[in-house]
Amino acid sequence: MELPRSMAVLVLVFFVLCGVGEAATFTFVNRCTDTVWPGVLSNAGSPRLEPTGFELSPGEARAVPAPAGWSGRMWARTGCSHDGATGRLVCATGDCGSGSAECAGAGAAPPATLAEFTLDGSGGLDFYDVSLVDGYNLPVLVETSGGGGSTGPASCAAAGCAADLNAMCPAELRAGGGAACRSACDAFARPEYCCSGAFASPAACRPTAYSQVFKTACPRSYSYAFDDPTSTFTAAAAQTTLSPSAPAPPKVRPLIPSRVTHLFLLPPFHDLFLVILIIRVAISGETRE
């Protein structure tokens, strides 16, 4: 079953296929009716992946190889077009400022929803999270199942945000005419919101009214810098599937029978649909072993 057009704008599927200690392949599949522009930024000390960004038409797929131990972030740029005067690519959200499809070592301009990964980290585990610390531009979910090497509620659990934060964004945080929602740090640049200066520790930097708006809507995403206990997840040798909506996506057979991570960048949904999605994510996280 296909998603209705109103629910299928800007959907991106992201797969990680890898084995413990081996190279990985990130395959982006655009399952939406509009073109999106994925961006990729490696962390300091981690090799740059190629390409660092690209245009992805509806139904198109593209693989990006990564070496063992790679870490970095990925996001989706939306509403991109070439400036008629300069020819530069300009995006409504998530723009990396390069003026082209390639981001070439530049990150997403906030606000943007980020998916962050560290492959083969401590204990050979993959660490992943969905972060709203830099704000929000569209829903993102990462969900894993199976595998082992880790225990507890953060092991192979669903991460991300299925809610339409743009619809509930406080007026003072709205950006781009409602196309994105800024973080309080980005909007006000105050230490208590940015967890900087005298607030640069978990004990000093506590949740604020703004971060709690994000956390209430998206309990499995980073809502502020020290939101680690409920926002960082791990997996090892896991096959990962993502069920972001009632209509299940087609199953994808892994090329390598080992870790697989699926990341979906999703459209905003109607309120009733949102409630169903959030409940499903919460239940799946609580019942996973």
Supply the pLDDT for residue 259.
42
Report, in angstroms and rounded to the nearest whole number, the Rg of the chain calculated over CA atoms: 18
Whether residue 179 is predicted with pLDDT greater than 80 in this model: the reply is yes
What mean pLDDT is predicted for residues 167-184? 95
What mean pLDDT is predicted for residues 274-282? 31
Q: Say how far apart CA 8 and CA 187 lie, in whole Å.
A: 30
Supply the pLDDT for residue 228.
74
Domain contains 109: yes
Domain contains 1: no
What mean pLDDT is predicted for residues 30-53? 88
Domain contains 4: no
Whether residue 7 is predicted with pLDDT greater than 50 in this model: the reply is no
Residues in the chain, total? 289
**Is residue 142 within a helix (H) or strand (E), and if so which, with residue range?**
strand 140-143
- Cβ pair 137, 239 in contact under 8 A: no
Supply the pLDDT for residue 229.
75
Supply the pLDDT for residue 175.
96
Q: Is the sign of the CA dihedral 79, 81, 83, 84 positive or negative?
A: negative
What mean pLDDT is predicted for residues 61-76? 85
**Is residue 12 within a helix (H) or strand (E), and if so which, with residue range?**
strand 12-18
Domain contains 21: yes
- Cβ pair 279, 158 in contact under 8 A: no
More confident residue, 32 or 110: 110
Whether residue 256 is predicted with pLDDT greater than 90 in this model: the reply is no
**Residue 230, domain extent:** 10-287
Supply the pLDDT for residue 115.
86
Number of domains forming the structure of the chain = 1
Least reliable range by pLDDT among 43-52, 75-84, 157-166? 157-166
Domain contains 157: yes
Tokens linked to 211: 């971060």
The residue behind tokens 């640069």 is: 200
Assign residue 148 the CATH number of its domain.
Answer: 2.60.110.10
Domain contains 34: yes
**Does pTM surpass 0.85?**
no
Domain contains 2: no
Confidence band for 170, pLDDT divided at 50, 70 and 90:
very high
